[in-house]
């Protein structure tokens, strides 16, 4: 644990620029002070004074490794940017690039995309069940601090087949594919009937907890010290959950942040993949700016995408088929154009987040962005040597952390580092063996 957890926690007042422009879509938003949106309860409970956020993106066809990774002998802080990373050179010190990492025993080719944030081994084998994803694990601890515990987004998804977010029971959380719907949830009030139904439901949860607490008290009467301690722990669990339900209910009564803009229009054609991705990045940024959630996942289901539109290039083959390029130069050229498009989108996102001030820092410093893939090389379907880019969020970046390409280093260790950065007491996630070696908090 790196977050000081002792003593009264202090939530500093943060100033938010009142009006942020959605450059790309030309939308202007009026934003309330974030502090005003934090319920009193959350303020009292939060152990980390600074809000920490996370956006995790999986492009399930990955990136051309030879263009993405810096040279194997070009490591550490003085490393030489690779061709793809050159496209983000303005942010060189805002990200870390990893090589030689994998999710241990997550094999099976394409099905591994569902394990990108869960690291559950053997997605292709018999008896497979997925496990909780990083964002949902975090949401169980910090989700109550915001209106939405988390947002699960997707582009060109195989519905019901894939997602980055999975519950503790290994159940798929469907991804929202329409930017307009995300926008609606973030900024438009629900109907009175909807709100009332939700409030009723949460209140019922609170009443359940109340009944349980009541019974716990009556059981406690005849117990010895140690047994009482155990039952007290149960009681605390009940009360904590009750508080979280109450805080969720409080959100329902609060007005959503205001916007003076129209909702984005949803691109209708799967070919408009890049535009969809760009809008989703925008939605994630808006969600963070308004502190509507701190946890966003975005699956770019490239496997399920046709020949996509990329500005300035002529793509004439399906994305999936291009990824099996077989070293065909024409295919490689098109893939490179697509990959570069991805890098440019990320670059814009980094710039936008960095340009958004919050409490004396900027949003990028408080938002961890994990971008990567479940495939190390789509051409051969290998799930080792994953391309992983990790930006922002309050780490010391500007380095190439290179691990053994033959015996890969466990990527779940990064997840543990991320959880700890969010102020969550976790020392293990899935197959982790510790925290990310070589990655220090800023």
Partner 1 sequence: MLQKPILSLNQVPGLWGGCAVLMRAVLPCVILPCVILAMAAVCQAETKGQPEAAFLKSHCYECHDSNTQEGRLDLTKVTFNLNDPLMFATWVKVHDRVKAGEMPPESPRPSVREQSEFLRALSDRLATADAERIQDSGRSTWRRMNRYEYENTLRDVLGAPWLQVRDILPEDGESHRFNKIGDALDVSHVQMARYLAAADYALREVAMTSAAPPSKTQRYYARDQRSFTGPLRFSQFNRSPERSTFPLLGNTADVAVLNDESHPLSVGDKNPEVREQEAVGVVASAYEPLEVHFSSFRAPVAGEYKLRLNVYTFWAAPLSEKQWWRPDREKTSAGRTHEPVSLYAQHPPRLLRKLGTVDASPEPSVVEITAWLAKGETVRPDPARLFRSRPPSFHNPLATKKGQPGVAYKWLEVEGPLPSKSLAEGRKLLFGDLPVKIAPGNQIDVKVPDAKATSRQLITKFIRRVYRRPVDAADTKRFVALVHEAIDAGIPFGEAMIAGYSAILCSPAFVTLEEHPGRLDDFALASRLSYFLWNSEPDETLLKLAQNGELKNPTVLRRQTERLLADPKSQRFVAAFLDYWLDLRKADDTSPDAGLYPDYYLDDYLVESAVDETRAFFTELIKENLPVRNLVASDFAMLNARLAQHYEIPNVQGSEIRRVKLPKDSVRGGLLTQASVLKVTANGTTTSPVLRGVWINERILGVLIPPPPPTVSAVEPDTRGATTIREQLEKHRNDASCNKCHVIIDPSGFALENFDVLGGFRERYRAVDSAKKPKKIVGYGHNGQPFEFSNGRVVDSAGSLPDGRKFRDIRELKLLLAKDERQLAKNLASQMIVYATGAPIRFNDREELEFMLDSIQSSSFGVQTVIQEVVLSRMFQNK
- Shortest distance, position 171 Cβ to partner 1, whole Å: 8
Footprint on this chain of partner 1 (rule: CB under 8 A)? 105, 107-111, 114, 121-131, 140-141, 158, 160-162, 167-170, 172, 200-201, 203-205, 207-209, 211-212, 214-216, 218-219, 222-227, 230-231, 233-234, 236-238, 240-241, 244, 320-321, 324, 380-381, 406
Beta bridge pairs of residue 103: none
Q: DSSP characters for 248-299? A: HHHHHHSPPPPB-SPPPPPP-SGGGHHHHHHHHHHHHHHHHHTTS-SEEEEE
Rounded CA-CA distance 314/51 in Å is 42
- Shortest distance, position 39 Cβ to partner 1, whole Å: 16
| 83/170 with CB nearer partner 1 | 170
| 201/437 with CB nearer partner 1 | 201
| 201/396 with CB nearer partner 1 | 201
Q: Check residue 80 and report its DSSP letter.
A: P
For the chain, the 3-state helix, strand and coil shares in percent, each to the nearest 5, are 40, 15, 45
- Shortest distance, position 59 Cβ to partner 1, whole Å: 18
Tokens representing residue 206 in the block = 């609170």
| 32/124 with CB nearer partner 1 | 124
Q: Positive or negative CA dihedral for 370, 371, 375, 380?
A: negative
| 121/341 with CB nearer partner 1 | 121
| 90/223 with CB nearer partner 1 | 223
- Shortest distance, position 44 Cβ to partner 1, whole Å: 15
CA angle at 60 for the pair 56 and 66, rounded to the nearest 5°: 100
- Shortest distance, position 360 Cβ to partner 1, whole Å: 32
Question: Of 170, 171, 165, which is closest to residue 150 (Cα–Cα)?
Answer: 165
Rounded CA-CA distance 245/206 in Å is 6
- Shortest distance, position 2 Cβ to partner 1, whole Å: 21
The alpha-helical segments, DSSP class H, found in 69-191 are 83-86, 134-142, 179-187
- Shortest distance, position 56 Cβ to partner 1, whole Å: 19
| 237/394 with CB nearer partner 1 | 237
Question: Of 205, 221, 261, 185, which is closest to residue 29 (Cα–Cα)?
Answer: 261
- Assign 197 to helix, strand or coil: helix
- Shortest distance, position 337 Cβ to partner 1, whole Å: 20
| 19/201 with CB nearer partner 1 | 201
| 161/269 with CB nearer partner 1 | 161
Beta bridge pairs of residue 257: none
- Shortest distance, position 211 Cβ to partner 1, whole Å: 5
Question: Of 320, 405, 289, which is closest to residue 14 (Cα–Cα)?
Answer: 289
φ, ψ at 199 (rounded to 5°):
-60, -40
- Shortest distance, position 410 Cβ to partner 1, whole Å: 13
Tokens representing residue 411 in the block = 């990527």
Neighbour tally for 114: CB within 10 Å: 27
| 172/369 with CB nearer partner 1 | 172
């Amino acid at each position: 644990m790196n977050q000081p957890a002792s003593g009264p926690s202090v939530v500093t007042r943060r100033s938010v620029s009142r009006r942020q422009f959605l450059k790309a879509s030309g939308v202007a938003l009026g934003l309330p002070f974030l502090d005003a949106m934090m319920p009193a309860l959350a303020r009292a409970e939060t152990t980390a004074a600074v809000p920490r956020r996370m956006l995790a993106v999986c492009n399930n066809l990955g990136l051309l490794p030879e263009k993405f990774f810096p040279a194997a002998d070009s490591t550490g802080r003085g490393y030489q940017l690779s061709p793809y990373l050159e496209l983000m050179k303005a942010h060189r010190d805002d990200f870390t690039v990893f090589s030689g990492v994998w999710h241990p025993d997550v094999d099976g080719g394409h099905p591994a995309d569902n394990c990108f944030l869960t690291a559950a081994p053997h997605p292709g084998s018999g008896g497979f069940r997925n496990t909780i994803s990083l964002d949902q694990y975090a949401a169980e601890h910090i989700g109550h601090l915001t209106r939405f515990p988390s947002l699960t987004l997707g582009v060109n998804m195989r519905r019901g087949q894939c997602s980055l977010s999975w519950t503790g029971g290994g159940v798929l959380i469907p991804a929202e594919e329409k930017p307009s719907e995300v926008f609606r949830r973030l900024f438009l009030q629900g109907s009175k009937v909807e709100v009332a139904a939700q409030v009723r439901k949460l209140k019922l949860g609170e009443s359940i907890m109340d009944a349980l607490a009541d019974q716990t008290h009556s059981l406690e009467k005849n117990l010895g010290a140690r047994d009482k301690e155990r039952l007290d722990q149960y009681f605390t669990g009940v009360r904590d959950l009750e508080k979280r339900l109450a805080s969720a209910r409080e959100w329902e009564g609060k007005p959503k942040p205001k916007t003076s803009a129209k909702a984005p229009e949803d691109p209708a054609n799967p070919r408009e993949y890049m535009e969809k991705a760009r809008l989703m990045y925008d939605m994630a940024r808006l969600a963070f700016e308004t502190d509507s959630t701190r946890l966003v996942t975005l699956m770019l289901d490239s496997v399920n995408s046709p020949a996509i539109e990329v500005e300035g290039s002529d793509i004439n083959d399906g994305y999936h088929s291009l990824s099996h390029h077989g070293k065909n130069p024409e295919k490689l050229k098109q893939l490179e154009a697509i990959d570069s498009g991805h890098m440019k989108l990320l670059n814009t996102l980094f710039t936008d987040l960095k340009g958004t001030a919050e409490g004396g820092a900027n949003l990028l410093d408080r938002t961890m962005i994990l971008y990567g893939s479940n495939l190390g090389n789509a051409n051969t379907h290998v799930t080792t040597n994953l391309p992983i880019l990790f930006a922002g969020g309050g780490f010391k970046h500007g380095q190439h952390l290179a691990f053994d390409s033959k015996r890969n280093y466990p990527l779940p260790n990064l997840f543990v580092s991320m959880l700890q950065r969010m102020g969550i007491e976790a020392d293990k996630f899935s197959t982790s063996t510790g925290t990310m070696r070589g990655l220090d908090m800023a």
